[in-house]
Structure 1
Amino acid sequence: MGADHGTLQEWIERFLDHLRLERHLADNTLSNYARDLERTKAWCVENQLNRWSDLTQHQVRAYVASRHRKGISGKSLQRELSSLRSLFRYLLREDQAESNPATGVRAPKVQRKLPATLDADQLGRMLDAPADDPIELRDLAIMELFYSSGLRLAELVSLDTRDIDFNDTTLEVTGKGSKTRRVPVGRKAQEAIRAWLEVRGDIAAMDETALFVGTRGKRINPRTIQDRMKRWAIKQGIPRNIHPHMLRHSFASHLLESSGDLRAVQELLGHADISTTQIYTHLDFQHLAQVYDKAHPRAKKKK
């Protein structure tokens, strides 16, 4: 093993530089890595471990157990272990470790929550509501686009006006890990975006390139979108905590329900791993089970 020229913190910083400069990860992802590794580092310091190479698999298990006792969820611990595994892959590359102690350590099982979705009627009530001013036209275009193209919140916020192509009715999106993909834009979403673009100039600053802007004329804040959607839902009498990801989930489950094509839905959502997309098959199965219970002669309950 090569000479160790850095402290725990210095190797975290070098690793984050590697993620930023070589792997071009988004700032949000980098801050998640930093936060996870900061917690592991604090535990190492508490336990008199001064170098990452001192950490054994047994100690990684002890760390996970101590976090679990504090009530940290299995999902969070899975992410922390993933961050630690990635750090050690980098340390192995840099000849600063002889093995990866996080390999083979599992977090407590996570009970997979099915994502909340809206049914077609609820979505219709939200999206068919009249828009009377530029801000409402913007909100409607945002919601139509979420549901039409299954975008993540960060993807929608980062869109520029040049990203939409009305000729081939597609949109270029930059997703996780700076990967770009093309997604179709449905007719209703196109209409809503055109209506918004007609009034965008009333709000947008002269040099602003963002497709969606806030009241100050600059690129819209993700928090603003979340707040506006909640307000919109209340106004339409929908008793749900509506958020952007719910429209993405609805897009995925409705598309899968109609097409049954898991690979296509994976592509449209920008999932690196199909197992992430497979959660929507559970949603689809729930729907099929309900249809079966209502329709099958042998499944119908006696009145």
Structure 2
Amino acid sequence: MSAQRDPSARPDTLVRPVEAFVEHLSSETRHSPRTCDNYRRDLIRLTDWLSASGVQEWQQLLSHDVRRYVAELSRQGLNGRSIARHLSATRRFFDFLLRERLVTDNPALDIRAPKSGRRLPRVADVDQLSQLLDASPEDPLEVRDVCMFELMYSSGLRLAELAGLDLAAVDMRGAEVRVLGKGNKERILPIGTKALEALERWLGVRSSLAGEGQPAMFVSRRGDRLSRRSIQARLARWGLVKGADQKLHPHLLRHSFASHVLESSGDLRAVQELLGHADIATTQVYTHLDFQHLARVYDQSHPRARRNRYDEPDQS
């Protein structure tokens, strides 16, 4: 990435419209401060490139200049997705300039970012993941953490699904969890033995942290619902403390869940049903799979699932 230019070297004729646009995003369209900062950063990067090229006015920017800028971003190592974000910011900025009658056209309108090669999701090694999950917690917060991580890996939960989980969504006797996924679509997932044991341990100490009437399954030391960011931080911390050879994050556990079950079962449709994927291009080839079939595939395939669920006597 190129070094940041001295702000005093940027022409006011380029900078002032950028600041006006960011102010428009903040005050008129009510974008978050973080989003405004992202737009400003991307546009200031373009401003620096233009001023280094001798351009003093936004009206001077032409389509072939935008293509040259895209090529420069690619040379600097940005992938297709990042370049597409820069182009999106540029297009929206020029829509604003058109509205303000500062330019007469949008030179980024028909420019597309180069395609990026699809990155394969990283997965954790079964043995190391088991070692990390089997490590003994030392206090109630770590009991909670292990329970969260076991449940994510056991059932392939998304981060948002775990953070939004309520006590009422878990059926301990049925070894099932009900989650609300993307598009407010509900699905029921099996819970493996290790995760059930972790849930029992957590529920045994949860009352020491959670206030009466708190519906959230996982709570902070203050007793309120644990945030997504806190879950991410606690998982990363657990990996560091327990000696993981890669950074642990929630999606790694979900990817590992999918990979390990698919590797053992070969049943792609069942795995995708368990994950709750809603992409039309993918789900068109699925046939409906009832929950009993999904649970059998899960029990036979997941490294930490309960075995012989259906052969066990009724304990009720």
| Structure 1 residues 255 and 113: CA distance shift in structure 2, 3 A | same
Cα 1:17–1:262 change in 2 (3 A) is farther
1:201 is paired with a residue whose SS is: helix
Distance change in 2, residues 1:114/1:162 (3 Å): same
CA distance in 1, matches of 2:146, 2:71: 46
Question: Are 1:181 and 2:171 matched, yes or no?
Answer: no
Does 1:203 pair with 2:206? no
Gaps of 5+ in 1: 1-6, 22-26, 276-303
1:252 aligns with 2:255: no
Deviation at 1:18, TM superposition (A): 9.5
**1:39 equivalenced with 2:47 (yes/no):** no
Deviation at 1:231, TM superposition (A): 4.6
Residues 134-153 of structure 1: pairs in structure 2 closer than 5 A: 134-153=140-159
* Residue identity opposite 1:140 in structure 2: V
Partner amino acid, structure 2, of 1:172:
L
- RMSD of aligned C-alpha atoms? 4.5
Contact 2:137-2:143 within 8 A present in 1 as well: yes
Q: Choose from 158, 164, 171 the match for 2:169.
A: 164
- Structure 1 residues 165 and 100: CA distance shift in structure 2, 3 A: farther
**Could you say if the C-alpha distance between residues 181 and 196 of structure 1 is closer, same or farther in structure 2, counting changes exceeding 3 Å?**
farther
Does structure 2 retain, via aligned residues, the 8 Å contact 1:117–1:250?
yes
Provide the TM-score with structure 1 as the length reference: 0.61
Deviations 1:195-248 (A, max 9, x none): 323322211245755432232333335454344334544565543332222112
Say if 2:261 and 2:271, in contact at 8 Å, map to a contact too.
no
Q: 2:61 & 2:246 partners in 1: Cα distance?
A: 46
| Residues 38-59 of structure 1: CA deviation (Å, up to 9, x unaligned) | 41366258544558xx864323
**Alignment-mate amino acid for residue 164 of structure 1:** A
Cα displacement string for residues 82-103 of structure 1 (whole angstroms, at most 9, x for unaligned residues) = 5556x48987xx9998768343
How many angstroms apart in 2 are the aligned matches of 1:145 and 1:162? Answer: 13
Residue 108 (structure 2) aligns with: 101
Q: Distance in 1 between matches of 2:196 and 2:89?
A: 40
User: 1:1-303 counterparts in 2 under 5 A?
Assistant: 31=34, 35-36=38-39, 38-40=41-43, 43-44=46-47, 46=51, 47-50=55-58, 56-82=62-88, 84=90, 87=92, 101-107=108-114, 110-131=116-137, 133-157=139-163, 159-161=164-166, 164-166=169-171, 169-173=177-181, 175=182, 179-188=183-192, 189-206=195-212, 208-222=214-228, 224-233=230-239, 238-257=244-263, 258-261=265-268, 265=272, 268=275, 270=277, 272=279
**Residues in 1 aligned to 2:268 and 2:29: alpha-carbon distance in whole angstroms:** 34
Structure 1 pair 222–103 and aligned structure 2 pair: CA distance change class (3 A):
same
Distance 1:142 1:78 in 2: 35
Rg larger for: 2
Q: Whole-Å Cα distance in 1 between the matches of residues 224 and 154 of structure 2? A: 24
Q: Kindly tell me: are residues 79 and 262 of structure 1, through their superposed partners in 2, closer, same or farther at Cα, counting changes over 3 Å?
A: farther
Identical aligned pairs, as a percentage?
A: 33
Alignment length, in residue pairs?
Answer: 254
Residue 152 of structure 1, CA deviation: 3.6
Distance in 2 between residues matched to 1:263 and 1:79, nearest whole Å: 35
